[in-house]
Amino acid sequence: MDDIFAIPIDDKYLLYAPLHHLTALVNRPALAQLEASLQADAPAHPALQPLVDRLRAPGEPVPMARTGPLTDPLFLGIIPTRGCNMACRYCDFAAPKQSSPVMSLDLARDAVDAYFDLLAAAGQTRGEVHFFGGEPFCAETAVHFVVEYAAHRAAEHGIAMRFEATSNGLYPAARGQWIADHFDTLVLSLDGPAEIQNAHRPTPNGHDSFEIVARSAAIFSDAPIELVIRACITQETVGRMPEIAAWITHEFLPGSVCFETLTLSPLAEQHEMLPPDPWEFALNFDRAAQILGAHGIETVHSTASTRDCRATFCPVGRDALIVSPDGWVDACYLLHEDWERSGLNLRIGRLDSGRFAIHTDALQDVRALTVHARPLCADCFCRYHCAGGCHVNHDTRGRPGEYDALCVQTRLITLAGLLREIGQGELAAAWLEDRAACAVSAGQPSDRLSRIEAV
């Protein structure tokens, strides 16, 4: 019963059991009968018995923290530089853009060697290298070296490698083509058509960035690389999300489009840029998703994916090894100053003499940062998907049910997606149009079936 949820949708309830992969739309009397049957371990009405049998059967294990020695890292993360060649008006990365150090090739080689030593010792047959920044391709030589050297080491060990990067796309066409030829996945920040992109993401000298970034997107669209377009949505652009989606379908061929809301920062406030209203974001996300879906393009919001169940939202706690230019090994690619402001220490070790010197206590502390340690998430039906969101930027120390804007948009988008998965697209669209009905659904203090007062 603890992991069976029921959320009001107009005059019905969405019954959801993520660990049983069960979603159903039922009326209130049926929900009451289901709860009574499950509580008393008694037979149910014949029409409901299949649901009861499914819920009584063992489900997936509850997602838990990793334990034991570090033998299966999620990926090797490389931060070749914190530098960046853009001056985004909302950037929440406070690192110096032009004076950040670049990872030395010796350190890059040590990071790759240490990673392959781990994989080989554990008998792993697959590996991944992810690049973060700043803008990683500002340190082009370091990136080229890591890709070529890691590919060489992978061939030696018989390991299948994947390369992924998060990038702003502001570089010459030749560099874009090299990326397309050598990377498996590229997450490209592109906020929309020219007037949106240029307003949000200018160059440091104030020039427009759209033409160059759109050219990069076109290069990636014509290549086998998996292109993920990531668009930051603000209060001003939230109503244009369907338009942005339609524009993307006409111009590019991404595998998916990720819509994320603006994270407030001093720079964003300076430029009077605000996050969107969560209901407006959810409504327009769903509309955009239908446009993109008609072209075979997946629409993603980072905290609203129901693809799998997880104990932590991001690489934190999943043994990712993220190496910075100074040789520290961290569990998160965000800035150290940001962790400290949130009362966290996500440093787990250091590269030392060509090996990962991982601090066991630090590793265990980071692994323990799961949804089970986030009070706000205790009774939310999204707990095994969202898992509380970003550890650094989303405060989940509040009481269960005291949902903030990030929670509300996640809950609404997830509910709409679940309704569409069971063929209730018309209901999802009509429900999202009704702000008052959405407020009831998103504001329910506890989603656990055993605690719903209305049943």
pLDDT digits (tens, 9 = 90+) for 285-308: 999 999 999 999 999 999 999 999
pLDDT computed for residue 353 by the predictor: 87
CA–CA dist 145, 171 (Å, integer): 18
Q: How is 356-371 classified by DSSP, letter by letter?
A: EEE-HHHHHHHHT-SG
> Do residues 271 and 89 touch, judged by C-beta distance below 8 A?
yes
42: left (phi over 0), alpha (psi -120 to 50) or beta: beta
N- to C-terminal Cα distance for the chain?
Answer: 14
pLDDT computed for residue 455 by the predictor: 47
CA–CA dist 215, 195 (Å, integer): 16
Q: For residue 376, which of 389, 386, 362, 388 has the smallest C-alpha distance?
A: 388
Kindly give the pairing relationship between strand 328-330 and strand 126-131.
unpaired
Partners of 77 in the beta sheet?
130, 322
Partners of 378 in the beta sheet?
none
φ, ψ of residue 186 in degrees (nearest 5): -130, 120
CA–CA dist 285, 240 (Å, integer): 10
pLDDT computed for residue 454 by the predictor: 46
pLDDT computed for residue 92 by the predictor: 72
Q: Which residues of the chain have pLDDT under 50?
A: 95, 454-455
User: Which pTM was predicted?
Assistant: 0.95
> Do residues 41 and 57 touch, judged by C-beta distance below 8 A?
no
Burial grade of 147 (CB within 10 A; 0-12, 13-18, 19 or more) = buried
Q: Which amino acid is at 189?
A: S
Residue 246 in tokens: 């339609």
Angle at 315 between CA 414 and CA 158, to 5 degrees: 120
Q: For residue 137, which of 163, 109, 111 has the smallest C-alpha distance?
A: 163
